[in-house]
Amino acid sequence: DELDVDKIWMDGELVDWDEAQIHVLSHVVHYGSGVFEGVRCYDTVDGPAVFRHREHYERLADSAKALGIGMEYTVGELVEATRELIRENELDSCYIRPIVFYGYDELGLNPKGCPVRTAIAVWPWGAYLGEDAINNGVDVAVSSWRKHHSSQIPTTAKITGAYVNSIMASLEAKSNGYTEAILLDKEGSVSEGPGENVFMVNDGTLYTTPVDSSILDGITRQCVMDVAEDLGYEVVEKRISRSELYTADELFFTGTAAEVTPIRSVDDRQVREDGRGPVTKEIQETFFEITEGRRDGYTDWLDYV
């Protein structure tokens, strides 16, 4: 195939890319009844390594618990399957997409009787918001769509159906000429991007939105908080208002796909003339040193394939 990836892991077996198929009446297709992860494997100086590997599968297990879908495999088994899959496909760096979902049986809302299916796919994937975005930042707009509240759909879980909310916000932003959206929560505070957490820098202090702003508690978010503190910055979790975005010294997104991406403007208000501020740059460079295995003290964040 075009991606030059041979195999997908499905329910305990390596199957050919083109054979990794499901029935059109699978429960997940109709109701979004699945949980998933996004993980990255980096080409480090010591070979391919999966970043925060176990943490991602632990979050997958937590997401499954929130949805009430029983995992067929343990975290340890899925970690091992992923390593095997990367080796089998001979990839140095890749994106990893594990998914656990209700398959095909009777098509009522109640998933009872539907088999739980598990799959892991890997493929090469560069910078999510573009290579230019990493250096020069992205233009974003606050969405007219609100982030769903955690009392409506769990937000700390990555549930497939919930991502329609992200899709609405992304499509709106793109059709209005922006690269990405920022969603406000039900109360009107900043929540997060469609697939990214948000950080703000003011007078050398980092701020990020708290879990009670209906965010996904991102693994990159946690890493950036740790890294920033190790670099000597104070990091504060606090509610952020829309207008605070307009006057921030610096803003950036974090996420497995987006990594650390500077935000250059919000609602056509320029955050920075230079695109990427100095604190963002330092955090970003440190983050890439870590993912590339070039920084001491963080090697336990890497699981060598």
Region 30-89 residues binding ligand PMP, contact defined as CB under 6 A? 38
Q: Which of 158, 186, 238, 281 is catalytic?
A: 158
Max CA separation in the chain (angstroms): 57
CB neighbours of residue 229 within 10 Å:
12
Region 92-151 residues binding ligand PMP, contact defined as CB under 6 A? none
What is the closest distance, in whole angstroms, from the C-beta atom of residue 196 to ligand PMP in the complex?
5
Residue 279 makes CB contacts below 8 A (sequence gap 6+) with 201, 204, 206, 233, 249, 250
221 binds ligand PMP, rule: CB under 6 A: yes
DSSP 174-236: HHTT-SEEEEE-TTSBEEE-SS-EEEEEETTEEEE--GGGT----HHHHHHHHHHHHTT--EE
CB-closest chain residue to ligand PMP: 218
The dihedrals phi and psi of 298, each to the nearest 5 degrees, come to -125, 10
Region 148-187 residues binding ligand PMP, contact defined as CB under 6 A? 166
261 binds ligand PMP, rule: CB under 6 A: no
158 is catalytic: yes
Segment lying near ligand PMP (by CB under 6 A), choices 27-35, 102-110, 190-198, 295-303: 190-198
What is the closest distance, in whole angstroms, from the C-beta atom of residue 254 to ligand PMP in the complex?
6
Binding residues for ligand PMP (CB under 6 A):
38, 166, 192, 195-197, 216, 218-221, 254-256
Would you name the residues annotated as active-site residues?
158
